Chain A
């Protein structure tokens, strides 16, 4: 069991992977180029899939191998490919813009991530599968994804922000719900794919109407 005595090799590997996911989230926040952002998302999805495989091997949950493969195919291959294709068709802007400067955004994200990290630590939720640190990191990923969605002013970054939020949720699920029936996990992923298609359609509609990927003009409806 984890949580007692010195951290094992497995714990170390799992925690490192979790931290890499969080760092990738920060890189996405930093990335100005939309393409770079999508690629970072693909790498992040790959890392989350690797974490699933590591849990499968380390904790002997063979079902998670299937999840790792499905999640890799969907989130690291299909989804980024769909968005990159959309970007190629749109060929409008290649860089998005944020509300704040990149430095302030990163500072804000650090504060938010730290808040998430320490708050979840105090909840005292233990898991047999992964160290609790990974859970705190996963919640931090979710919160930084929110910063990304809120601060960015273009439809691609906002959509990618939502998808990476889902990566954070997947990590939470690996930590505390590794035994969840595979069929449900796959259903969640399939739902994500449907959401991606809808996001794609609406991005196209938006681009077709405004000839731009920016959301700055979306201020007509208020009150």
Chain B
């Protein structure tokens, strides 16, 4: 299969699955979703070698090393969450089938909406990094927002309704600002390339040195605030813990591991242009401020969190802050670290959310105070959840250890001693908060001596898979992946080389 065909597969199959799920019954929809997700994962992985050495393009679709790095988390979590969904909805499906009638109808409606939204969400997140141009990128990110807002509201509880409204309003306003960024960037580009062009990436980067400085600065700040709203940077993060905590678990995993990364990708695209036009200092300063503020807020919030899924959501804010700081260091080593961090964070956070989903299902509460003795009751999920939390705390031998090490080493190598020290201190505070809460959850003895049973093997297998990915990323990333990360980091540090 030619590499351009792979783009077509990733760009159309999830859309096709979305349409199919409108008509298919529950079991068939779940099977189709899983099959499509696995094919997409295979296609995305197959794209690693060609994109590491060049650009693969087909019409409006264009994948270079940087976009490929951001396709991988979606591919990974789409597949993992699709498998998890079979177990997640399995119990409900059996009970609904047994009781029949009204309940059956309610469930098949829920299941249809879930799979339609789930596939559409994954599709929009594949499209964003593949879109050739800042305007198309904005459109794709906007689509991710509206689809995921509906998914957050899906459970139709009081919390879900509130979270969905906050999310759609705040994220839409953020994207309104991001649209302003797109327009201002268009204006800047028009000064060098004439009125009729479509914000495609290659010409924009090629002409970046001739763009007027003030509009590009303005566009960059608007982009960081606008897309940063969806990344969850402080102080635009307020929707994030709500939406992550109230969404159905497979959606939470995609939101945290993949959606935030895709929005961060949008910022990186503006960063790429801005660095060439106005030099490194300005974008670095902006990202450093937002990164440190996010990391500070998140690490303090982690210390006093009472809700398991909100705990993980704040940990996402923490990791997005780390990404922003890592980019602000402006060293190639830190850039490689940031890109590896995107992948490892997706695997670890996806894993943690899936594990938390099982725990919430079994204990019927999200309150950290009321969950005890997970290790005794859940022989598989317990250790897996603990491992993923250790991974999120950047313990070796997992991928996040390697990536955070690269980021800090790169920062200190580039002479950013103060920022590097702040990063290490805040990450340590976050480490205390996260690990303290979860260790209590997992290792304390259970309130009741009820023997444990995993709800479903479908929920365990994807977690094992993600943990394996984390180990591979930490111990020895494959040769092709390392080449890809270096190539993508080269794009980010392009201004230095030029």
Which residues of A are at the interface with B, using a C-beta cutoff of 8 A? Answer: 123-125, 127, 142, 146, 149, 155, 158-159, 162, 165-166, 169, 172-173, 176-181, 184, 187-188, 191, 194-195, 197-199, 201-202, 205-206, 209-210, 215, 218, 220-221, 223
Of the A-B pairs whose beta carbons lie under 8 Å apart in the complex, a sample of 28, sorted by A's number, is: A123-B214, A142-B176, A149-B169, A155-B165, A165-B173, A169-B179, A176-B186, A176-B187, A177-B183, A177-B187, A187-B136, A188-B139, A194-B146, A195-B142, A195-B146, A195-B172, A201-B153, A202-B165, A202-B168, A206-B161, A209-B161, A215-B165, A218-B162, A218-B165, A218-B166, A221-B241, A221-B242, A223-B305
Please determine whether A125 and B165 come into contact, CB atoms closer than 8 angstroms.
Answer: no
- Other than A184-B135, A205-B164, give 7 A-B pairs with Cβ distance below 8 A: A149-B169, A165-B176, A181-B196, A181-B197, A195-B168, A202-B153, A220-B158
- Asked if B495 is an interface residue, CB under 8 A from chain A, the answer is no
Closest partner residue, chain A, to B218 (CB atom): A123
Closest partner residue, chain B, to A179 (CB atom): B195
9 cross-chain pairs, A with B, having the tightest CB-CB distances, nearest first = A179-B195, A176-B187, A198-B146, A221-B242, A177-B186, A218-B162, A184-B135, A173-B183, A177-B183
Residues of A near B166 (CB, < 8 A) are: 218, 221
Residue of B143, B173, B198 with most chain A CB atoms under a 10 A cut-off: B173
For A187, give its contact among B135, B158, B162, B218 (CB under 8 Å): B135
Q: CA A68 – CA B19 in complex, angstroms? A: 32
Q: CA A199 – CA B142 in complex, angstroms? A: 13
- Asked if B149 is an interface residue, CB under 8 A from chain A, the answer is yes
Q: CA A193 – CA B183 in complex, angstroms? A: 19
Closest partner residue, chain B, to A201 (CB atom): B150
A172/B142 contact (C-beta < 8 A), A166-B176, A202-B168, A220-B158 known = no
Please determine whether B150 and A176 come into contact, CB atoms closer than 8 angstroms.
Answer: no
Q: Which of B157-205 contact A (CB under 8 A)?
A: 158-159, 161-166, 168-169, 172-173, 176, 179-180, 183-184, 186-187, 190, 194-199
Residues of A near B214 (CB, < 8 A) are: 123-125
- Asked if B432 is an interface residue, CB under 8 A from chain A, the answer is no
Residues of A near B446 (CB, < 8 A) are: none
A205/B153 contact (C-beta < 8 A), A165-B176, A169-B179, A187-B135 known = yes
Chain A nearest Cβ from B29, distance in angstroms? 21
Please determine whether B169 and A125 come into contact, CB atoms closer than 8 angstroms.
Answer: no
Residues of A near B194 (CB, < 8 A) are: 179
Residues of B near A202 (CB, < 8 A) are: 149-150, 153, 161, 164-165, 168
A221/B159 contact (C-beta < 8 A), A162-B173, A169-B180, A198-B150 known = yes
Q: CA A220 – CA B164 in complex, angstroms? A: 13
Residues of B near A159 (CB, < 8 A) are: 169
Q: CA A162 – CA B150 in complex, angstroms? A: 18
Q: CA A181 – CA B161 in complex, angstroms? A: 38
Please determine whether A146 and B218 come into contact, CB atoms closer than 8 angstroms.
Answer: no
Please determine whether B149 and A172 come into contact, CB atoms closer than 8 angstroms.
Answer: no
Please determine whether A142 and B180 come into contact, CB atoms closer than 8 angstroms.
Answer: yes
Chain A nearest Cβ from B391, distance in angstroms? 25
Q: CA A162 – CA B167 in complex, angstroms? A: 13
Chain A nearest Cβ from B56, distance in angstroms? 23
Q: CA A172 – CA B180 in complex, angstroms? A: 8
